[in-house]
A = this chain, B = another copy of it.
Amino acid sequence: MRPKEEIILENYIAEKGFKRGAQRKGIAEIFLSTEKHLSAEELYALAKKKYPSVSFATVYRALKVLCGCGLCRELRFDDGVSRYEHLYGHEHHDHLICTVCGRFVEVTDNAIERLQTKLFKRHDFIPQRHRLDLYGICDKCGKKRRAD
């Protein structure tokens, strides 16, 4: 866990009057050092390696705390499963998702962002947030597919 993220987490726990549970800390460490859009289930599997007796509830609770202090964000994708992404040090971005291997690529395009703002205005909406998910087949999977 990078020092800044650790400080944010510790401050949040102190400020909320929580105590420092070993599992929660450990799960947070695993999450923050895994640069992936993990689902609760995936994070649980990783946590099990370190804490064989860990419960799903603890994983969900740890994720809730991480979201609470702004270190992560819950994203629900089309399969109905929530995945959690890092927020610290990650500017707003959209997602390119490979439908074969499930890889996530964080992308941004300022021109698209500007056009979205215009789109809000054109329809008299006050912009709040947006979400763009681009589904396709990544280079690696495309090559593999052509080779088969």
Q: Which of A110-142 contact B (CB under 8 A)?
A: 111-112, 115-116, 118-120, 123-139, 142
Bound Cα distance from A112 to B109, whole angstroms: 10
- Residues of A73-121 contacting chain B, CB below 8 A: 76-78, 80, 96, 98-99, 105, 107, 109, 111-112, 115-116, 118-120
Interface size range on A against B: 35 or more
Chain B positions within 8 Å of A78 at CB level: 76, 131
- Chain B residues, Cβ within 8 Å of A123: 96, 105, 107, 138-139
User: In the docked arrangement, what's the CA distance between A105 and B125, Å?
Assistant: 10
Which residues in chain A, 51-88, are within 8 Å of chain B measured between CB atoms?
76-78, 80
Apart from A96-B123, A123-B138, A129-B135: 5 A-B pairs, beta carbons within 8 A: A109-B115, A112-B119, A124-B139, A130-B134, A131-B133
